[in-house]
Amino acid sequence: MPVVETGRVIIVGAGLGALYAALHLAPHPVVMISPEVLGQGASSAWAQGGIAAAMAAADSPAAHAADTVRAGAGTVDAEVAASVTAEARAHILELTALGTPFDRDAQGGYVLSREAAHGLARVVRVRGDQAGREIMAALIAEAARTPSVQVLEATMAVGLQVQDGRVTGVAVAPADGAGDPVLLRGAAVLLAGGGSGGLYALTTNPPRIRGQVIGMAARAGAVIADAEFVQFHPTAIDMGEDPAPLATEALRGEGAVLINHDGVRFMQAVHPDAELAPRDIVARAIFAETEGRRRPMLDTRAAIGSEIVERFPAVAAACLRGGIDPVAQPIPVAAAAHYHMGGIAVSSTGRSSLDGLWACGEASATGLHGANRLASNGLLEALVYGRRAALDIAQGLGEKQASPVVLPTAATAQANAASDIANLIAKLRQVMTDHVGVVRDANGLRFALRQIAMLEAQASGDTNVLNMTATATLIAAAALLREESRGAHCRRDFPQANPALARASRLTLAEALALRQTVTETTE
């Protein structure tokens, strides 16, 4: 494999955490690895709700932390929650200074919305459902003005090089698969490449984000935490698109209600907070209606009416594509894989278990989300840990000069047939949705592990697929090992929470593969 030496910090990813870290590393030179044009294909840009922060006079970081701990179903690290929520306001002010056009009232205060499991309105947003896109636009503009930031577009990270227990480089390849990998060596590596929702057939995540970053860290030996905790968003718009468009939780914060095809509001019988119950509870209720063939729908007509077009343009546009008029009709919804609470286990400064490797954003597991992420804490975590990782990395850097990275001209790769790989990935995603989804049990999880092993064997060494199957194995294995129901992890065969298991899980890929092998060798 050709080797390119660079003194730059290598940042895998191009979303909020990656950009924020790159800016906070300046003037230290960085190179960002982006499979798409910068700003496209990142989950951050698709985020609708906004960023949770105690901005109102009646609010406080302590109250925000308390809601975070409560929503996390017993496994949130309370110290992490307190420290992250204490920083939230400063990051909102910094993004504002960078040009993010947060919604403001006539007095100049931030317009705040309430989302599920928050005690009061504290989500800072942009034009209703445009927060992710507008925040990313502001950061991209700032990155373009920052000479120390280089972006390698149309390039995908496919693996990590580890020497003597330290990560020393990243193997990258053309994102279209039409070239051989090149080893890029740098001063440090920060993984900020998103989560794992795309491993599921029904998901709200961008198409390329399918657990590869977590998988490549796991394959290098990094410890993975809370892999079993995958959050399913209750209100993905059920209109046949892949990925499924999202109907932001802010709609329910504005009074929209969930009904079934008979017009019955079913959440009132499920939880005292009805539509604003924690996401895991709403997702399971939606799933139950779907399984019962009662077609769950989000009804915005009375609460929002015609204002949905102006106030929530992304939702309105998605409905229009699907032939749905949200002003006159309820919106069909389904529970879809949305956010991975688990990921690469990191310290308070974003350090992984491997020297030379940091992680932030959805690819990481910080202890903030526990078993069930509080709405709109995802972007906040990416900001906090993107900055923390950048400052920690900077302490170990020397000279601030580095030449731009120039990759050699890609040779034609001897790749597997694209259609074969696409079919294999589609099968993997369906296995995850059918057997490692909203509700799980031991038989289904064991079946999933056997299927993942079989699909992995058919991958013929395709690195992108191996990264996916590594993460899928970790999720299914961790779910099999956690014999209880907690937060987003729901077991039919263990429906109650076990107080003795109120802690984060930690698993290496070697341990998950050993369990998979045992399951594969066991006949039922």
The set of catalytic residues is: 279
**Residue 316, CB half-sphere, CA atoms under 13 Å: how many?**
17
- Tokens 């120039």 locate to 406
Closest CA to 452 of 427, 434, 433, 483: 427
**Whole-number Å distance between alpha carbons of 426 and 419:** 10
Q: In what order do the strands lie in the sheet containing 297-299?
A: 230-237, 331-340, 297-299, 257-259
**Residue 345, CB half-sphere, CA atoms under 13 Å: how many?**
17
DSSP-derived secondary structure letter, 351: B
Q: How far apart are the first and last CA of the chain?
A: 44
Residues 6 or more apart whose CB falls under 8 angstroms from that of 223 comprise: 344, 345, 352, 353, 506, 507, 508
Extract the tokens encoding 397. 């850097």
Strands in 297-438 per DSSP E: 297-299, 331-340, 343-345, 357-359, 364-365
Strands in 238-367 per DSSP E: 257-259, 297-299, 331-340, 343-345, 357-359, 364-365
Per the CB < 8 A criterion, the answer to whether 129 and 250 are in contact is yes
* Phi, psi (deg, nearest 5) at residue 231: -90, 130
Angle between helices 78-97 and 378-395 (to 10 degrees): 90
DSSP-derived secondary structure letter, 120: S
**Residue 202, CB half-sphere, CA atoms under 13 Å: how many?**
21
